[in-house]
Each structure stands twice: as C-alpha cells, then as structure tokens.
Amino acid sequence: MSTVIVVGSVNVDLVAAGGRMPRPGETVAMARFAQTQGGKGGNQASAAAALGATTHFVGAVGDDSYGRSAVTDLQARGVRLSGLRTVPEPTGVAVILVDDSGENSIAIIAGANATVGPAQVDAALQAIDGEAVVVACLEVPVPAILAAARTTRARGWQMILNPAPALALPPELIALCTVLTPNETEAAALGGVDALLAAGAGSVVVTRGADGCEIHTAGSEPTFVPAVQASVVDTTGAGDTFTAALAVALADGRPLPEAVRFAAAAGALATEGFGARGSLPTAAEVDIRLTT
Ligand code: RIB
C-alpha cells in the first residue's frame, strides 16, 4: 500500500451557504450555516486515506473542543496522528461563504497551525519507514515546510507543494519540490510557471477548475488535461483532494500525466457534496468516473 505524509493545517470550517457573495460593505442573507472539518492539510490527509493510502498527518491543534472534534474526525477516517501536537493555542478556524454556484470565499485564522515548526516536522518524517510521498500547503509556516522538503529530499521521497494561500517562497523550497500544484491565481502570485521551473521545480501543475489543468515540466511542451464532469454542490476542498490524489497516484508509481488525470477526477468528485470533506471519493469511484 502506498504511503502519503501530509504536513499541514487543521481548521474547523464555519460555513454560510446558499445565496450570493456580499460585496465589500454589504450584508446579505444566506440560506444555511454549518460547522464542518477543514484545513487544507486535514482535507488532504482525509482524501488520501479515502483513496486507500496509508496516511500520516503532521500538524497542530489546540486543547479545545474544535481540536478534539478535528482529531476525532481524522482518526475516524483512518489518518495516523503520531505527528500531531496539541498546543496552548486555539485550533485554526476558517470562515467560509459558499454561493449558489458552489464557489467559495475563505478567510483563515491560523491559531495552532502557526506553531508547526521545523523540529516537529523533521522528527515526524524521520520516524516513518519506507517509501512515501510528502504533501504540504502554506497554511503552516514556511520554515516547517522547508524542513519537510529537506527531509523529503534526504530520504529520496517525492515532495508535492500546494502553494495555497500563495506566499513568496524561498528558492530552495521551490527547487526541492517534485511537483507544485497552484491554481491560476497562485501561479501568477508566485511569479508564473516559467519562474517556478527556472527556480528548479520538477513540474508545475496549474489547476483551472472547470477549465481543466496544465502540466508544465522544464524542457517539455505543456500538456493539457481536461476537467472531469461533475454536478457541483460546493468547490471547497476540491483542490485539496486534487493534490492528495496526485500524491496517492505518484506513490503508486503512476507517471505524472496519468496521475494528473486521476487527480482531476478525484477533485471533480469532491465538489459533489457539501463541505470540504463531504464527498471524498474512493479509488474505485475515481476509476469509474474516469471511464464514464
Ligand atoms: O481548501 C479548503 C480549506 O481551506 C478549508 O477547509 C478551510 O479550512 C481552508 O483551510
């Protein structure tokens, strides 16, 4: 069985849905409220576990009811939590609006996620035996992600960075990434695909939602991968499932274009339920969607 290690964030998502997005200074009424489990890292770990990978999570929660609910949910999904710390900060929170088309706007309050540091990450990764693919996002501090990337390279593993939310990245971190998975906005904020490849990224997979995605690798022509049909309810977390599925497929030894097609189908399926983890697919469900 393939192994995926996620270094990332845990949030509790406070979601208002149904209606349209407010403009600046405007109040709108929305149809419903829900409290769901989130955080890009927690979502990625949950998605990798649903797809059948042995999945480890490295991150932090607070000693509070949100943190306990997050841990209970991750455990129930089969995610291994020996790399998770409980710290004297509140658990991370995301405030999310989802409009009638399923599009979202998200504001995050890092809380415990901001305490994840290099020593914790390095120790957690060193404790895991065998081959693995490591996944990270930027909702935990960059020094922690850089430590993950250095240890990943030293272990001979592959590193996937979902650069969300986009931040200026140290060139060393870019060069240690096997694959980066920005959306269009994030790719532009990071200086563009050519700059990322010139800095040494192995490949850059730019996701464009319903417009599919592009694979860029230095020295090769870009490859376009079309989007997979979906009945969209909520796009929250679709990118997290995309990145997790890419990690699972690469950990299974699939070539990058095939792994991206698998990830695109997994991401599409993840939009069909409410909440970031409302419709995480199994590998069999992804394979069926790829053949229909
Ligand atoms: O990618 C979706 C996630 O972003 C949400 O679950 C929210 O917690 C934010 O981290």
92 pLDDT exceeds 90? yes
Q: Which atom of ligand 1 is nearest to the CA of 12?
A: 8
Is 30 inside a domain boundary? no
pLDDT at 1 exceeding the cut of 80: no
Q: Is the CB of 97 under 6 A from ligand 1?
A: no
For residue 130, pLDDT over 90 is answered with yes
Give the contacts of 146 (CB within 8 A, at least 6 positions apart).
118, 170, 172, 173, 176
Q: Name residue, tokens 């070539």.
A: 255
Q: Please indicate, yes or no, if residue 179 is contained in any of the structural domains.
A: yes
- pLDDT of 70 > 80? The answer is yes
Evaluate: CB of 110 within 6 angstroms of ligand 1: no
pLDDT per position as a tens digit, 184-230: 999 999 999 999 999 999 999 999 988 999 999 999 999 999 999 99
**Domain tally, the chain:** 1
The mean-pLDDT minimum among 153-157, 232-236, 280-284 falls in: 232-236
Q: Whose CA is nearest to atom 7 of ligand 1?
A: 39
Determine which residue's CA is closest to atom 9 belonging to ligand 1.
39
Residue 77 Cβ inside 6 Å of ligand 1? The answer reads no
Unique residue bearing structure tokens 């050519």:
194
Query: Does 22 reside within a domain?
Result: no
Report the separation in Å between the CA atom of 221 and the middle of ligand 1, taken as the mean of its atom positions.
Answer: 32
CA distance linking residue 240 with residue 233, whole number of Å = 16
Residue 39 Cβ < 6 Å to ligand 1? yes
Residue 21, pLDDT above cutoff 90? yes
152 Cα to the center of ligand 1, angstroms: 24
242 assigned to some structural domain: yes
- Cα gap 75→67, rounded to integer Å: 12
CA distance 103 to 183: 14
Confidence at 137, pLDDT banded by 50, 70, 90: very high
- Whether 32 is in a domain gets the answer no
Report yes or no on 163 lying in a domain: yes
pTM: 0.97
State the CATH number of the domain containing residue 84.
Answer: 3.40.1190.20
Per-residue pLDDT band for 140 (boundaries 50, 70, 90) equals very high
Residue among 240, 243, 277 whose CB has most ligand 1 atoms within 8 A, to mutate = 240
Alpha-carbon dihedral of residues 217, 218, 222, 225, nearest 10 degrees? Answer: 0
- Which residue's alpha carbon is nearest to atom 6 within ligand 1? 38
Q: How many other C-beta atoms are found inside a 10 Å radius of the C-beta of residue 26?
A: 8
* Closest to 245 (Cα-Cα) out of 104, 50, 26: 50
Residues 83, 236: Cα–Cα separation, whole Å: 25
276 Cα nearest atom in ligand 1: 6
Amino acid 243: pLDDT: 98
Domain assignment present for residue 171? The answer is: yes
Q: Whose CA is nearest to atom 1 of ligand 1?
A: 237
Distance 218 CA to ligand 1 centre (A): 30
Q: 209 in a domain, yes or no? A: yes
For residue 238, the ligand 1 atom closest to its alpha carbon is 1
Is residue 183 in contact with ligand 1, taking CB distance under 6 Å?
A: no
Range of the domain at 184: 3-10+38-91+113-290
CA distance 255 to 260: 9
Confidence of residue 292 (pLDDT cuts 50, 70, 90): confident
Q: Report the atom number in ligand 1 closest to the C-alpha of 42.
A: 6
pLDDT confidence bin for 90, thresholds 50/70/90: very high
Return mean pLDDT, the chain. Answer: 97
Q: Would the CB of 181 count as within 6 Å of ligand 1?
A: no
Q: Where residue 103 falls among pLDDT bands split at 50, 70, 90?
A: confident
Q: Is 73 in the pocket of ligand 1 (CB under 6 A)?
A: no
Query: How far is 249 from 283, CA to CA, in rounded Å?
Result: 10
Question: According to the model, what pLDDT value does residue 162 have?
Answer: 98
Active site residues: 240
Q: Is the pLDDT of residue 11 over 90?
A: yes
